[in-house]
Structure 1
Amino acid sequence: MTRATLFISDLHLGPHDPATVAAFRQFLAGPARQADALYILGDLFEYWLGDDQLDDAFYGDIARDIAQLKSANVAVYFMAGNRDFLPGQRFAQAAQLTIIPDPSIIELGGQTILLAHGDAYCTDDVGYQRYRKLARNRLVQWIWLNLPRRIRDREAQKLRNKSKAMNQHKSQMIMDVNNAAIEAALKKYATKVLIHGHTHKPFTHQYPTGLRYVLPDWHLGEGGYLAHDGQQLRLLRLDGTSFKSSNE
């Protein structure tokens, strides 16, 4: 029997949403434990200040929950998102997973697949792209990680509040992916399939050059995942029912 490969993103786990934490643990004990591999494509956590966040009981417990998949021979891969883009080797070791770059290419069922968090393709949001470039500068990251934890906590809260305020005044079109950027990515990596999260709009989009699968976000115990059963990809809710696709 072929074991599935699963893809999730945008869980935004934190103590503020115990229902989603419970749903994630059920997912780990159910579909994920029966899988061959699990890919987490960013924003697993609401924020990640650095690997010393594992010292907090909540985050240490989540890492241990993920690590238990290793005993079931499930390979776990993690790609940083826009909320948790500072994972290090301590986190990787604690969760028994492999950190992969954004974007990444994998082979699945004889097909080349492009994986990404998705925010890099929201090119119409010029202000965000400037911030993204700065936040991923290695010198900036080194300075950030060497700040006292209390300062990182305070500044991260300021950034989250500022982001929420700014997003209220942005159109949904600006915050979604740019189709030209998607087409360029499919062409650049010579693939016909792209899987990403970030936009919180689960759907299967058809392009002249291929397909784009958008992963669902998780909130208040609701969410979903993309599953490859060895032949096809399907967007599923946590209860196993399908999301509407562009083919329906």
Structure 2
Amino acid sequence: MHTLFISDLHLTPKRPDITDCFIAFMRDDATNADALYVLGDLFDFWIGDDDPTEFAQQIKNEFKTLVNQGVPVFFSHGNRDFLVGKKFAKQTGVTLLDEEHVIDLYGNKAVVLHGDTLCTEDLRYLAFREKVHKPWLQWVFNRLPFFIKTRIVRKIQTDTSNDKSNKSMTIMDVTPSEVLAVMNKHQVDTMIHGHTHRPNIHKISTAGHEKTRIVLGDWYTQGSILVYSKHGYQLQCKKFIS
């Protein structure tokens, strides 16, 4: 019995090596899990549930097949796939989660989230995030023709890349006080998130009590998976297919 967690795959047709690793994971590893949690940034950028491309359909088919095999899949929005919506969920069978969601892991309560909201020093990104999460703006964007949305996203990706190159690593990491605030709010001792691309298991001592923050890795050079069971947990790597 074990539960799997992944994030920050940044799937794109431009990186078939990542896609191949993801498909192998879905077919060889995920089928034996109690559940699969995808904690954001599954896609390099999800333009909308109306994506007509063969690539988008391929990824949706993998989720649908896994769910049909009896493995529940849960999805938390990231900063690159916040437009994954109800249509995607209906087509794949995945369950969309709240921004912060508390789960039970074999008797241990944990809060799961993408992790971008923990980086409170990245003020420019948080301002951008607040803007693009406005329901009215998403409503308008989702009703644009797909080719126009593609052009807009390309511009956003270029601007984001340029902005990121000028930021320090400290700004793009989590704020410790925010981590504790979220854990205390949900009254949990375990947090699991992605976003920072810094896989690690952090032990936090506070008021004589120990808390655990597990950070998932990205899939740029290899697959990164958290395997969690009642016996313990481990961050594992999955090699890309040659």
Aligned to 1:211: 212
Partners of 2:11 and 2:50 in 1: CA distance: 17
Residue 50 of structure 2: SS of its match in structure 1?
helix
Which of 22-31 and 85-94 deviates more? 85-94
One-letter code of the match for 2:124? G
- State the TM-score, normalizing by the size of structure 2: 0.94
Aligned to 1:18: 16
Partners of 1:208 and 1:84 in 2: CA distance: 33
Residue 33 of structure 1: SS of its match in structure 2?
helix
Q: C-alpha offsets along residues 110-168 of structure 1, whole Å, 9 cap, x if unaligned? A: 11100000000010011111111111111111111112222211111111101111111
Q: C-alpha offsets along residues 75-94 of structure 1, whole Å, 9 cap, x if unaligned? A: 11111110000112221122
Partners of 2:116 and 2:154 in 1: CA distance: 20
Partners of 1:69 and 1:155 in 2: CA distance: 32
Contact kept? 1:45, 1:83, Cα under 8 Å: yes
| Matched residues, number | 235
**Over aligned residue pairs, what C-alpha RMSD do you find?**
1.1
Residue 147 of structure 1: SS of its match in structure 2?
coil
Contact kept? 1:51, 1:90, Cα under 8 Å: yes
Q: Which of 196, 201, 225 is matched with 1:199 structurally?
A: 196
Aligned to 1:243: none
One-letter code of the match for 1:182? V
Give every structure 1 segment of 4 or more consecutive aligned residues whose post-TM-superposition deviation is greater than 2 Å.
Answer: none
Partners of 1:123 and 1:26 in 2: CA distance: 36
Matches within 5 A, 1:85-234: 85-209=82-206, 210-220=211-221, 222-234=222-234
Shift of 1:14: 0.8
Residue 208 of structure 1: SS of its match in structure 2?
strand
Partners of 1:79 and 1:227 in 2: CA distance: 17
Shift of 1:219: 1.5
Partners of 1:211 and 1:229 in 2: CA distance: 15
Contact kept? 1:6, 1:39, Cα under 8 Å: yes
Shift of 1:170: 0.4
Contact kept? 1:36, 1:74, Cα under 8 Å: yes
Q: C-alpha offsets along residues 46-76 of structure 1, whole Å, 9 cap, x if unaligned? A: 11111001x2111111100111112331111
Contact kept? 2:67, 2:92, Cα under 8 Å: no
Partners of 2:126 and 2:67 in 1: CA distance: 36
- State the TM-score, normalizing by the size of structure 1: 0.92
Partners of 1:23 and 1:157 in 2: CA distance: 25
Percentage of matched positions with identical amino acids: 37
Contact kept? 1:109, 1:231, Cα under 8 Å: no
Partners of 1:190 and 1:85 in 2: CA distance: 26
Partners of 2:134 and 2:68 in 1: CA distance: 36
Aligned to 1:236: 236
Residue 212 of structure 1: SS of its match in structure 2?
strand
Partners of 1:29 and 1:148 in 2: CA distance: 34
